[in-house]
């Protein structure tokens, strides 16, 4: 579940301009059925030249990945995500491949089958957010899922509804760091990878998201629907800004700290 939340945030974090400095503040509110997954995070994101620094200004429930005052640093040159903690003067490395490799390990233990996938995108008109004209769209994704762990098997019908307010005025998605955009991310679970590809195709060309509302609902074999999670992401402010190259470097004197224990979780 933590991996899924991280990947969801990557969509926001790396939707950046690779050629002009830009800074935005965003708030993500997650209400989840699973224990320990609800959170409210306010982040200040700075991006320039394909490098991204995401500072966590406030975190309702802190953990190894999300801690107030710490920041994520993505350096396009070495395709690595750094978790930097100024209070401890430490940093940890998380190569982007490692995230999907961890999913592959899980895939060997958990068998997931997805059937009857449907992905629909509907345009709802235009609205203005933060002075930018936005296309308001709604995506509906549904599928039947069977999960098998050892001899335990469960079936459900999953539904994900996502509303997006995105502006084409910012060429952020197109100018995203090449090192991140064109990586072939695979979880190793064939059905899941195919579903992710369909979702990416449906959302292609929407522009830079200034607001997203995502609701995930599960329907069991008896037809009982239960909302699993609801996430609202809103960009609070947005503007251009130039940064010195040193802004995207790890400060001198910081020591490296292993994150393998947290990553495995």
Tokens at 64, concatenated = 């190894």
Instruction: Tell whether the model's pLDDT for residue 180 goes beyond 50.
Output: no
Comparing 12-21, 80-89, 106-115, 187-196, which segment has the lowest mean pLDDT?
Answer: 12-21
d(Cα 10, Cα 181) in Å, to the nearest integer? Answer: 11
Answer with the residue of higher pLDDT: 258 or 85.
85
Model pLDDT, residue 18: 36
**The most confident of 8-17, 18-27, 138-147, by mean pLDDT:** 138-147
Q: Which residue from 233, 166, 190, 206 is spatially nearest to 31, judged by alpha carbons? A: 233
**The most confident of 5-9, 23-27, 111-115, by mean pLDDT:** 23-27
d(Cα 140, Cα 121) in Å, to the nearest integer? Answer: 7
pLDDT tens digit sequence for 208-223: 889 999 999 988 777 7
> Could you tell me if 135 and 207 are in contact, meaning their C-beta atoms sit under 8 angstroms apart?
yes
Model pLDDT, residue 256: 93
Task: Tell me the domain boundaries of the chain.
Answer: 2-264
**How large is the average pLDDT for residues 117-131?**
91
DSSP letter (8 states) at residue 248: G
Instruction: Tell whether the model's pLDDT for residue 139 goes beyond 60.
Output: yes
**How large is the average pLDDT for residues 53-69?**
90
Fold type of domain 2-264: outer membrane lipoprotein receptor (LolB), chain A (2.50.20)
- Residue 145's contacts (CB-CB under 8 Å, 6 or more residues apart) are 112, 113, 114, 115, 155, 156, 157, 158
Model pLDDT, residue 87: 93
Consecutive H or E run containing 236: strand 225-240
| Residue 12, SS3 per DSSP | helix
Model pLDDT, residue 109: 67
Tokens at 181, concatenated = 């955009």
Kindly report the pTM of this predicted structure. 0.76
**Residues, the chain:** 265
Instruction: Tell whether the model's pLDDT for residue 4 goes beyond 70.
Output: no
């Amino acid at each position: 579940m933590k991996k899924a939340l991280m990947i969801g945030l990557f969509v926001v974090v790396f939707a950046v301009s690779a050629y002009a400095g830009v800074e935005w503040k965003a708030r993500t509110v997650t209400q989840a059925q699973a224990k320990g997954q609800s959170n409210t995070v306010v982040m200040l994101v700075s991006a320039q030249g394909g490098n991204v620094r995401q500072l966590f200004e406030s975190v309702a429930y802190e953990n190894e990945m999300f801690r107030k005052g710490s920041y994520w640093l993505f350096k396009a040159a070495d395709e690595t995500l750094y978790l930097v903690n100024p209070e401890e003067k430490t940093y940890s490395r998380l190569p982007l491949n490692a995230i999907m490799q961890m999913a592959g390990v899980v895939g060997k233990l958990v068998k997931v089958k997805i059937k009857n996938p449907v992905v629909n995108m509907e345009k709802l008109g235009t609205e203005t957010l933060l002075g930018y004209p936005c296309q308001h769209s709604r995506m509906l994704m549904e599928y039947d899922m069977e999960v098998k762990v050892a001899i335990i098997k469960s079936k459900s019908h999953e539904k994900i509804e996502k509303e997006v307010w995105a502006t084409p005025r910012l060429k952020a998605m197109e100018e995203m760091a090449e090192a991140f955009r064109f990586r072939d991310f695979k979880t190793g679970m064939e059905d899941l990878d195919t579903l992710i590809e369909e979702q990416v195709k449906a959302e292609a060309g929407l522009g830079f998201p200034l607001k997203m509302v995502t609701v995930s609902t599960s329907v069991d074999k008896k037809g009982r629907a239960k909302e699993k999670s609801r996430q609202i992401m809103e960009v609070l402010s947005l503007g251009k800004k130039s940064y010195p190259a040193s802004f995207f470097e790890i400060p001198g004197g910081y020591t490296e700290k292993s994150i393998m224990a947290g990553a495995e979780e």
